Amino acid sequence: MSRFKILALLPLAVLLGGCDFVVLAPAGDVAAQQRDLIVISTVLMLLIVLPVMALTVWFAWRYRHSNEAARYDPDWDHSTGLELVIWSAPLAIIICLGAITWMGTHLLDPYRSLDRIAADRPIDRAKTPLEVNVVALDWKWLFIYPEYGIASLNELAAPVDRPINFRITASSVMNSFYIPALAGQIYAMPGMETKLHAVVNHAGKYKGFSANYSGAGFSGMQFAFHGVDDAGFEQWVARTKASGNSLGRTEYLALERPSSNEPARGFGSVDSDLYRAILNMCVDPGKMCMSEMMAIDARGGLGLAGLNNTLPIAYDKYARRGTALGPQPAFVAGTCTIAEPQGRITAQVRESTPLLGAGLKRPSLFTPPGSSTSLRLGATSKSDS
């Protein structure tokens, strides 16, 4: 091979040097099963693609203009045997791909709990899964461990061979939570919760990032995932608790502001109700939670008395992206005090008398267009009488 050809291949070698084959060599059982789906699907498709490519070259060579020995048959138009091969082989492959896709869609559903640790190891039901609440911020990742009362920024750790239950949401725009070595990606959306079940089988440090573009700081929205043994995980938890940082609602509102390339750090204590407030978009003081708003709407709403139940937004996190939300952005105010009760609220029915709305402010007098009758709540009067 000449020196010129070798030099021509150098750019290709440089490009291949940047490839990361972690998708084909994962560290978790879920990602390994997804890898197998990719390999099997590729092989099945190559059963058609490779013969077609080979026959294309063979036909071009055999029936070239200079080959007078090749049979010339301009009136040929049908072959039963050839038609059978052309239609039966792709049909069989499509049936196989459909069956594999159907099984993989159900068995690898991210919302489905794991039933095994690895191919040869069933899950130990006596071992509780690790609960991790994931929040996609601009442009960083927040991980809350409710079982341990800690949180970490741009750093995630989990013990080997212990199932992990991720509950995922976002603070503002949609992102995609993705650790290639652990499992497939799943979207993180504000006001919604997605789930992902996974397990890591090999200790090591792996890369996690957002797979959905979300603005100027997207390139720095990465984090490190540490797969460690049980002792290593307990040490990581102890170091995080000893960090001295706390994460309450005030600290979260400051952390929520857009920033990129944030260093990894831990929070030794976390507000136990913080994730619920983030999910329901009511971390701001006085803001009504989305779950409360839906519960009120399901029971008929607040009526006309709730039309003006709004407060101005003290900090508009969308304004820095140039989103036009009007001159005076506002949100629906809470109907209770800012200090929310901890734990579950149990409703107590004191009496069965139906609510008549006697405490609501009466709507102002108005006259429908084209009518001489003025209406008032619970009474009518004719203005011309």
What is the Cα–Cα distance from 296 to 355, expressed in whole angstroms?
14
SS3 call for 30: helix
Architecture of domain 118-279: Sandwich (2.60)
Q: Which regions in the chain score pLDDT beneath 50?
A: 320-326, 338, 341-350, 363, 365-385
Q: Which long-range contacts (CB under 8 A, 24 or more apart) does 332-336 make?
A: 332/287, 332/288, 332/293, 332/306, 333/286, 333/287, 333/288, 333/309, 334/282, 334/286, 334/287, 334/288, 334/289, 334/292, 335/288, 335/292, 335/296, 335/302, 335/309
Cis omega before residue 76 (within 30°)?
A: no
- Domain boundaries, given as residue ranges, for the chain: 21-66+80-108, 118-279
Report the pLDDT value the prediction gives residue 378, as an integer from 0 to 100.
40
Contact 229, 160 (CB under 8 A): yes
What is the Cα–Cα distance from 198 to 215, expressed in whole angstroms?
28
Contact 171, 215 (CB under 8 A): no
Task: Give Rg (Cα) of the chain.
Answer: 31
* Predicted TM-score of the model (pTM): 0.74
The angle, 0 to 180 degrees and rounded to 10, between the axes of the packed helices 80-107 and 29-62 is 170
The pLDDT tens digits for 361-373 are 554 544 444 444 4
Report the pLDDT value the prediction gives residue 7, as an integer from 0 to 100.
66
Report the pLDDT value the prediction gives residue 372, as an integer from 0 to 100.
45
Q: Which helix (DSSP H) or strand (DSSP E) does residue 22 occupy?
A: none
Report the pLDDT value the prediction gives residue 322, as an integer from 0 to 100.
42
Kindly give, in sequence order, each residue whose CB lies less than 8 Å from that of residue 278, ignoring residues fewer than 6 positions away. Answer: 135, 169, 171, 252
Q: Which helix (DSSP H) or strand (DSSP E) does residue 375 occupy?
A: strand 373-376
Residue 283: CB atoms within 10 Å: 21
Ordered strands of the 183-188 beta sheet? 155-159, 222-228, 204-210, 175-179, 183-188
The pLDDT tens digits for 47-103 are 989 999 999 999 889 888 888 888 888 888 888 888 898 889 889 999 999 999 999
What is the Cα–Cα distance from 215 to 111, expressed in whole angstroms?
28
Q: What would the DSSP string read from start to end of 285-332?
A: TTBPPHHHHHHHHHTT--GGGGTT-EEE-SS-TTGGGT----SS-EEE
Report the pLDDT value the prediction gives residue 207, as an integer from 0 to 100.
93
Contact 34, 183 (CB under 8 A): yes
Q: Which segments within 15-108 are labelled E, that is strand?
A: none
Q: Are strands 121-122 and 130-137 parallel, antiparallel or unpaired?
A: unpaired
What is the Cα–Cα distance from 271 to 146, expressed in whole angstroms?
9
Q: Find the largest Cα–Cα distance for the chain.
A: 110
Residues comprising the chain, all counted: 385
Q: Which two tokens stand for residue 114?
A: 């794991």
